[in-house]
Structure 1
């Protein structure tokens, strides 16, 4: 019977001391794109928490295209060239804070693509976001949703092949920076509607060239990133990826399985299963379609993980979303659905959550849990039927808790 305290060895050789991973969450603590003292203090708190690994929030590969105005981004460099020593020193402090108690730090690396709001990043307020195809974001039905979507995001511009190749190199350079900074690995953000996910999905990728038209061609973008990154960082640096389950319906389920097969063939250290996007924020617990089995096991995306495990039994899987208790974590691991348990929002409320779940203090199963209600909505928002508002309130509530961690303040969750 597998134990939550079991160490887990990744194919690259990295050993995680237990199965609990602090999942990636947006910190929104950077006014200038660099990790600052707030990052150092927040991650120092998590580093003391007994985690198997710490996943950072989004680190964007292009400071001109951010997911939110206060996200960190890798400093620019000539492709394959040297990094600015001052910038490198800042990122080394970040890595040291994450890993000062021996917990491996893994950086979530991403590009938001069409989900970069107008004004986020240094591209200029009127410059368009980039995407595989010029498909605008639909944040809801009706005229209000249409105008809000147009105001916040506009219509993206379809990327040229040269632009695609440039973004691939930006991912590689960001991975090189993280390795030189001392981090143990990266996780490519291929979920939640970000650029890699946009390429993988036929809903947002309508290209007819080498990057679209079939599951294999839609995967070319991320496969190129992984192949070139591995060449740049060597065999002992972790390369994982987060993929969506929730936005893949029966019509393209087999396409998704084929894309996972291609990822396995090119060589990844782990696959994190999550779901949702700005259009359908299931990663925040909204509009989740669950079987009775999934509901009983807490995890939002358990059914997809179970099917992935059947097809790829040797692929290390991380399952994130909805797990709030020791019993829930034990269930998904003992069922064989995953190897690693991702914990997001509870980590913001209790940065030492693994110590509770690993029974360090002898807490019984029925008390080793942290139930969380939905974050409260402002009164006016309750009158507007847009899921993005509820997800935004949820996200900002926990951004506030990360800020409290950074400032040494007590944290709290929404009242159950």
Structure 2
């Protein structure tokens, strides 16, 4: 049995049939913030695909602050009507109909909530640990775009931090009630939890800032609160940043590892290693040398087994995961980003750096990727690859000096593929 196809039991007792995870991707199809019929229709494509487990896209814990105007959000207290609760149960039941466990990714955007996303007035400022504005670029256009779309956030009061903690706990309770097997806290990509963990965005000197441990206090209270509000068998994972650690000075790595130790002790079942933010969108860096979608480039050469050097760089965040493994050998680690071949995935697992392989954009193109390709014994290693065409921005957008525009174009394109599945259509196959 290959490592990819081997089962894994998490600390909460959740059994994963294999090591392949459909990672979280933005669906961008909930204008009323509810998981309507499009969601079970789209997720039914992944349900029968042979995944080890499935993670939903961002579900916002606040109706006031959303990551996009079409995010799913946790119902307001006492607003969970029978019809809405049934929609949630239908979503959970559909995803798990073939025995694949599903988790809800819970998120609060903090300072990364764009204007028009959420039930708030145009004058209401975003919330953040400290009043540190986004930096999308130093030239005139990025500064104006930042000011118009996000503004400078307002530092959260202690009461507001406590409220956000309770919102995450309420989100986990909602997922538990609906029948999901667990949740993943989004503590990466520059969202609120990541903002609290980072000394760049958390300048507080109260119990929620000032030291690595205090910057982690918010998420520790969230984890402990979820454990108390659900059940011992309910899975709690967290996605954490890696690439921005190097930007925090010589103590950045040690601070991050200290925070991870506290988070592990608080009771998480796995840690997903990712990275990047709106300021540095490194979570969208794969396939840059691939042909552009819609181009007339010649067909790709026949697939070949990747060289060792290619396999070594295939996972963006694997080196950081290896460091985490040295310090915390027992916590299951999931690495997401850049995997494009069975050989590369097996090599990552064999190295001991990770236990779970997260797959994002390829899963939006081939939703049954494990069953059809990666775990299919009839597909030889040389053919067990999935390299995608690069999503190119329009010429006008390429002139704008904002790095996150490219990430936005990528996200919108693959969100559109999920939207196609939500309409009962198949995604467009952009493999090369």
Structure 2-normalised TM-score?
A: 0.92
Alignment-derived partner of residue 129 in structure 2: 132
Q: CA deviation at 1:357?
A: 4.1
Partners of 1:165 and 1:384 lie apart in 2 by 39
Partners of 1:413 and 1:304 lie apart in 2 by 32
The superposition leaves residues 256-301 of structure 1 with CA deviations (integer Å, 9 ceiling, x where unpaired) of 000001011111100000000000000001799xxx9686341010
Alignment-derived partner of residue 29 in structure 1: 29
Alignment match of 2:164 (pick from 139, 163, 167): 167
Alignment-derived partner of residue 98 in structure 1: 95
Q: Does 1:66 align with 2:66?
A: yes
**Other structure's SS at 2:272 match:** strand
Q: CA deviation at 1:119?
A: 1.2
The superposition leaves residues 171-199 of structure 1 with CA deviations (integer Å, 9 ceiling, x where unpaired) of 11110111010000000000000000000
Alignment-derived partner of residue 285 in structure 2: 285
The superposition leaves residues 92-139 of structure 1 with CA deviations (integer Å, 9 ceiling, x where unpaired) of 011011111111010000100000001101012221111000101111
Alignment-derived partner of residue 352 in structure 1: 368
> Which structure 1 residue ranges, 5 or more long, are not aligned?
none
Contact 1:281 1:287 in 2 (8 A): no
Partners of 1:179 and 1:192 lie apart in 2 by 25
Q: CA RMSD in A?
A: 1.8
Q: Mean alpha-carbon deviation: is it higher for 314-323 or for 406-415?
A: 406-415
Change over 3 Å in CA distance of 1:17–1:192 after alignment to 2? same
Contact 1:376 1:414 in 2 (8 A): no
Q: Does 1:47 align with 2:63?
A: no
Partners of 2:412 and 2:287 lie apart in 1 by 19
**Other structure's SS at 2:58 match:** strand
| 1:72-91 alignment runs, 5 A limit | 72-77=72-77, 83-91=80-88
Partners of 2:397 and 2:338 lie apart in 1 by 24
Contact 2:16 2:101 in 1 (8 A): yes
Partners of 1:311 and 1:413 lie apart in 2 by 41
> Which structure 2 residue ranges, 5 or more long, are not aligned?
289-307
| 1:109-148 alignment runs, 5 A limit | 109-148=106-145
Partners of 1:85 and 1:405 lie apart in 2 by 26
Partners of 1:221 and 1:135 lie apart in 2 by 18
Contact 1:286 1:391 in 2 (8 A): no
Alignment-derived partner of residue 181 in structure 2: 184
Partners of 1:273 and 1:283 lie apart in 2 by 11
Contact 2:364 2:418 in 1 (8 A): yes
**Other structure's SS at 2:151 match:** coil
Alignment-derived partner of residue 154 in structure 1: 151
**Other structure's SS at 2:145 match:** helix
Number of aligned positions between the proteins: 410
Contact 1:280 1:287 in 2 (8 A): no
Partners of 2:20 and 2:69 lie apart in 1 by 30
Partners of 1:358 and 1:120 lie apart in 2 by 38
Alignment match of 2:357 (pick from 337, 341, 348): 341
Partners of 1:94 and 1:31 lie apart in 2 by 17
Change over 3 Å in CA distance of 1:271–1:139 after alignment to 2? same
Alignment-derived partner of residue 325 in structure 1: 341
**Other structure's SS at 2:176 match:** helix
Partners of 1:20 and 1:4 lie apart in 2 by 7
Alignment-derived partner of residue 221 in structure 2: 224
Alignment match of 2:417 (pick from 394, 401, 416): 401
